[in-house]
Amino acid sequence: MNDNLIKVSVVGVGYWGPNIIRNFISNAHTSVDSICDIRSERIDAIRSIYPFLKSTRDYRELVHSSDNDLIAICTPVFTHYEIAREALLAGKHVLLTKPMTSTTEQAEELVNLSEKKGLKIFVDHTFMYHGAVKKMKELLLEGKIGDLYYFDSVRVNLGLFQHDVNVVWDLAPHDISIMYYLLDQYPESVIATGADHFGTKLEDMAYLTVYYPNNLIAHIHVNWLSPVKIRQTLIAGSKRMIVWDDNEPSEKVRIYDKGIEIVPTSDQVYDILIQYRTGDMYCPKIDTREALAVEVEDIVNSIQHGKTPISDGKVGLMIVKILEAAQYSIKHRGKEVKI
C-alpha cells in the first residue's frame, strides 16, 4: 500500500456514522467515497451536508465496489459479522463500531479471516484514543503509579435505552476497552450482576467485577437509570492514585501522590503498622484533539506503514469475550466465568 488516499465507504449513517464520515474527510490521507443506509432519509440527511458522496441502500454494492479500500461498519451490532465477513472476503479492510460482534465465535472468525487475507480489522473503541486515556497509559508505562491495585469505573446516566442490546453491551465496551488497554494483562474471570426493570430481558444496570492475577481487581458500573451523569474512573497503585472525571471541563485527570505502606511490627495486638503518605496532587495537560481524529491517524499508520493499531481485531475480540462472560454471569446470578 502506498501513500495514496485511503478511500472509505461507510455502512450505517445513523447516530455515530456521521462522526466517522467527518473524521475520515478531515484526515489528509483518507477520503470518503460512498455511504449506505437502509433508511433513505438518513442518506438524504448526510448528502445535504456532503453532496459529493455516492449512496446506496444495499451494503453489498459498497463491499464489492472497486472504489474503496476500507469499509466502516456503523450498523447495529447484530449485523457486524455478516457485513465484515463479506467485506474481508472482498479484500477490504474493515472498521467496526463497538462492540466488534455479538459473539466470541464471530469475532474469532473475523480475526482469522483477516489474517488469512492479509487485511486489517479496526474496532472503534474511541476511548482508547482519548487524551486522558493516553496520558494515563503514559503514567502507567513510566512506572509513576507503581504496582496496580484496582481499576474502578462508573458510567451512569439517564438512558439512551437500546432496543437490541442491554446496558452491558451498550456502555461497558467503553470501560472494558480502557481497562484492557491500561491494565495490559489477561483477565482471569468475570462476575457480573444486574437487573432489568421493564420486562425487556435487557438489563438496564449492571456491575462487573473482573479478576486479574496478583490481586488486581477491576470493577465497572454501567447504568441507564441514573438521575445524574457520572463518568469517573479510579486507578490505584503502590506509588500513586488517579481519578479521571470525564465530566470535568478542564482538569479531567488528577494524579494523587498518596499511598499506603504496611510495615510489619512486633506488636502483638496490632501486628502491622499502616503508614499513610499524602503529597501534592497535579492535573497534567491533556491532548484535547478529538479522539476519533487520533484513531483515524492510527488507522492510516496501520494501513500505510504496517504499524499495529491500538484497537485492532484482537482487542475487539478480547472485549467481546469479556462482554459475553459478563452477560452469562448476569443471567446466572453472578456465577464466576473464566476468560
Distance CA 52, CA 220 (A): 43
Q: How far is the CB of 89 from its own copies (least distance, A)?
A: 27
207 alpha-carbon distance from chain centroid = 17
28 counts as binding its own copies under rule CB under 8 A: no
Q: Residue 97: count other Cβ atoms within 10 Å of its Cβ.
A: 22
Q: How far is the CB of 254 from its own copies (least distance, A)?
A: 8
Q: How far is the CB of 176 from its own copies (least distance, A)?
A: 16
Taking the least distance from each CB to its own copies, the nearer of 107 and 176 is 176
* Options 61-69, 111-119, 176-184, 274-282: segment touching its own copies (CB under 8 A): 274-282
Residue 56, φ and ψ in degrees, nearest 5:
-155, 160
Q: Which of 2, 66, 142, 269 binds its own copies (CB under 8 A)?
A: 269
Q: Which amino acid belongs to residue 164?
A: D
Read off the C-alpha cell for 162.
437500546
Distance CA 95, CA 43 (A): 20
274 counts as binding its own copies under rule CB under 8 A: yes
CA dihedral 83, 52, 46, 168 (to 10 degrees): 30
Taking the least distance from each CB to its own copies, the nearer of 45 and 234 is 234
CB-based contacts of 202, cutoff 8 Å, min separation 6: 161, 162, 163, 165, 166, 167, 196
331 counts as binding its own copies under rule CB under 8 A: no
Residue 307 DSSP label: P
Taking the least distance from each CB to its own copies, the nearer of 153 and 177 is 153
Residue 312 DSSP label: B
Taking the least distance from each CB to its own copies, the nearer of 28 and 160 is 160
Q: How far is the CB of 146 from its own copies (least distance, A)?
A: 11
Site string for its own copies, 228-267 (x = CB under 8 A): xx----x-x----xxx---x-xxx--x-xxx-x-x-----
73 counts as binding its own copies under rule CB under 8 A: no
163 counts as binding its own copies under rule CB under 8 A: yes
4 counts as binding its own copies under rule CB under 8 A: no
146 counts as binding its own copies under rule CB under 8 A: no
Read off the C-alpha cell for 175.
470501560
Cα–Cα–Cα angle for 236, 239, 244, nearest 5°? 35
Do 12 and 36 meet the contact criterion of CB atoms below 8 Å apart? Answer: yes
215 counts as binding its own copies under rule CB under 8 A: yes
288 alpha-carbon distance from chain centroid = 18
* Options 57-65, 110-118, 186-194, 307-315: segment touching its own copies (CB under 8 A): 186-194
Q: How far is the CB of 168 from its own copies (least distance, A)?
A: 14
Residues 17, 18, 19, 24, CA torsion sign: positive
Q: Residue 194: count other Cβ atoms within 10 Å of its Cβ.
A: 23
193 counts as binding its own copies under rule CB under 8 A: yes
Distance CA 219, CA 190 (A): 10
Q: List residues binding its own copies (CB under 8 A).
A: 149-150, 152, 154, 156, 158-161, 163, 189, 191, 193-200, 205, 207, 209, 211, 215-217, 219, 221, 223-229, 234, 236, 241-243, 247, 249-251, 254, 256-258, 260, 262, 269-272, 274, 276, 278-285, 333-336
